[in-house]
Amino acid sequence: MKATNESSRAAGPHTSGFELDRIDRAILKTLQKDASISNVALAEKVKLSPPACLRRVERLKEAGLIRGIVALLDPQALDVGMVILIGVVLDRSTPQSFADFETAAQKVSGCMELHVVTGEFDYFMLLRTRDSASFNRLHAEQLLYLPGVRQIRSFMGLRQVLSTTLLPI
C-alpha cells in the first residue's frame, strides 16, 4: 500500500500502529538505493546523528519494514539472463491443492517469484534460466510434475524494459 502523506501508517503484518515520519521515509528511500551505505553516511544524508540514525534503522527492522539487506546480482553475468513468466491453472481450487502446488513450486530451479492472481490463471511464476534449451529441460523435468496443474502457459521475455526493487515510499 502506498502511503499518501506524512501521517499515513505503514502497511504490513508487523507494522500495526507504526507511524513513518519524514526521516524514516528518507532512511528507507536511501537504503533502497544503496543498502551498503555506512551508518555515518546515512546519518549525514538524513540529517541525524549516527547513533540516532542507527536506532531508527534498528526500529525499522524490528517493525518489519526492513526485511533484509541483499546484494543485487547481474543475471547476465551469472548466465541466468532469460526471464520466463508462467501462468498456471490448477485443476482444483481447494486449500490443499493450493498448498501442495505452492510447496512444490517454491522448489523449482530458478523460481524467483510466485504470485496467486485473479483472472484466467491461479498463479504467475517468474523464473530465470540460461536459455530456451535450459528452460525446455526445466519444463520437462520439473514443471510437468507440479501437483494439481491443469495448464501451464509460458512467456519468454525478449527484452527487459524495467526492473526495480524500489518501492514507492
| Span 75-92, pLDDT tens digits | 999 999 999 999 999 999
33-74 per-position pLDDT tens digit: 999 999 999 999 999 999 999 999 999 999 999 999 999 999
Least-confidence region, from 13-17, 99-103, 152-156: 13-17
**Beta strand pairing status for 82-90 and 149-156?**
antiparallel
92-116: burial string, b at 16+ Cβ within 10 Å, e else: eeeeebbebbeebbeebebbeebee
Residue 7: the pLDDT is 34
The pLDDT value given to residue 18: 78
Sorted by where each starts, the structural domains of the chain and their CATH numbers stand as 1-72 (1.10.10.10), 82-156 (3.30.70.920)
Q: How far apart are CA 36 and CA 95, in angstroms?
A: 41
Query: How far apart, in whole angstroms, are the C-alpha atoms of residue 123 and residue 80?
Result: 22
- pLDDT per residue over 92-144, tens digit each? 989 999 999 999 999 999 999 999 999 999 999 999 999 999 999 999 999 99
Give residue 109's pLDDT: 96
State the chain's mean pLDDT as an integer. Answer: 90
- Helices 22-33/39-46 angle, 10° precision: 130
* pTM confidence score: 0.80
Of residues 2 and 120, more confidence is placed in 120
Burial call 58-70: b when 16+ CB within 10 Å, e when fewer: eebeebebbeeee
Q: List the Cα angle 167/59/52 in 5-degree steps.
A: 105
